[in-house]
Amino acid sequence: MRPFKVVILCCIFTFIGATAVAEKAETSNLKQSVATVDGQPIYDEDLAPSIQGQLLPLRNQEFEIKKQALDKLIEQKLLEAAAKKKGLTKENLLDQEVNSKVADPSDAEVEAYYLAQKDRLNRPLDEIKVQLRQALKQAKTQQAKQEYLKRLRAENTVVVLLAPPKIQVAYDPKRLRGNPKASVMIVEFSDYQCPYCRQVEPVIKSVLAKYGDKVSLSYRDLPLRQIHAQAQIAAEASRCAEEQGKFWEYHDQLFNGSKLDHDALVDYARTLKLDDKQFDSCLTGEKYKTEIDQDLREGMQAGITGTPGFFINGVALSGSLPEESFATIINEELTRK
């Protein structure tokens, strides 16, 4: 009878445990109230619009810490699996596949290594030649190990589900370049007088050409008025051009041109065969100041402190960066899709 009692108790505890888990899951799905005002609740999610930009650096830091830890665990799993296949320990595997294949640095390599750091070392080569040879061998071994791990990763099925933090920002369908139903949406906050925004333009165009209908771009204004005196009027001008159906042509003209004063902005409109009277009236009347202010405010709330600032499906990217920086995030997003 005793074993029977144990089974019954186990069943009871299992039932109670399952009920507790279900209740906990149901509770976690409820909104979390952080305050009430005259009985009206304020929820945690209500805070997001005003603080998400401030929290983004902290969330990015948390993500990077987790990503580094995850990469190390993935490498450990790959090494363990590869070692098991060959009947070796991880240490013996690395000795066989990495350490034994790294040659000792030649005298010429050591000398070149020394010359590259001579000013910092400030000691004769003969005094530190042995230490430099060891340091160079260690650096070459580490590089060889990383290349081996990269091959292992490519040869195995590794699916990373850890995703970077995201901030969903709205895009303007009237200033959209590319497929509106693209899998990846890049929202750019930019300033027409910003040299870094001008510098990144060819990179963005190359990205759009490379991915075709899979990626689209939405432009939004973030004129840094305190340091760029003509950024506001240039943003106004681009909106006035959009009014006549030529936003992107005018956008490109602004980044290609050398001047952003009023007369130059009107000349650009004439070049594109816009109605210059309608354009000038729109420009002088500051017709789109409210909309530009909204772009600026939403960009700042999303955490942008300088231009250019990008959100690739909500993943933040800042500055004039190479194409590889955009491609890394885009490829990850396409993989998830």
- DSSP class of residue 165 equals -
Q: Which amino acid is at 204?
A: I
Angle between helices 247-256 and 195-211 in degrees, nearest 10: 130
* pLDDT for the residue 122: 81
> What pLDDT shows up at residue 92?
95
In one-letter notation, the amino acid at residue 200 is V
What is the full per-residue pLDDT of the chain (337 aa) written as tens digits?
343 333 333 333 333 344 444 444 444 446 788 999 998 999 888 887 778 778 888 988 999 999 999 999 999 999 999 999 999 999 999 999 999 999 999 999 999 988 888 888 888 888 899 999 999 999 999 999 999 999 999 999 988 888 899 998 999 999 999 999 999 999 999 999 999 999 999 999 999 999 999 999 999 999 999 999 999 999 999 999 999 999 999 999 999 999 999 999 999 999 999 998 999 999 999 999 999 999 999 999 999 989 999 999 999 999 999 999 999 999 999 988 7
Q: How do 309-312 and 315-318 pair as beta strands?
A: antiparallel
Q: What is the pLDDT of residue 224?
A: 96
Contact by Cβ (8 Å): 283, 265? yes
Q: Please state the separation of Cα 257 from the chain's center in Å.
A: 29
Residue 178: count of CB within 10 angstroms of its CB: 18
- Cis peptide leading into residue 308 (ω within 30°): yes
Q: What is the DSSP letter of 188?
A: E
Rounded to an integer, what distance in angstroms lies between the CA atom of residue 91 and that of residue 239?
63
| Bridge partner residues of 33 (DSSP) | 43
Predicted TM-score (pTM) of this structure? 0.73
Angle value at C-alpha 294, between 290 and 296, nearest 5 degrees: 115
Residue 30 is predicted with a pLDDT of 63
Indicate the DSSP class of residue 38.
T
Tracing tokens 């709205």 back to the chain, one arrives at: 170
Looking at the domain that runs over 173-336, which CATH code has it been given? 3.40.30.10
Q: Where are the domains of the chain?
A: 88-158, 173-336
Helical segments of the chain, H only = 2-28, 48-86, 90-97, 107-116, 118-121, 125-155, 195-211, 231-243, 247-256, 262-271, 276-284, 289-301, 323-336
CB 161 within 8 A of CB 66: no
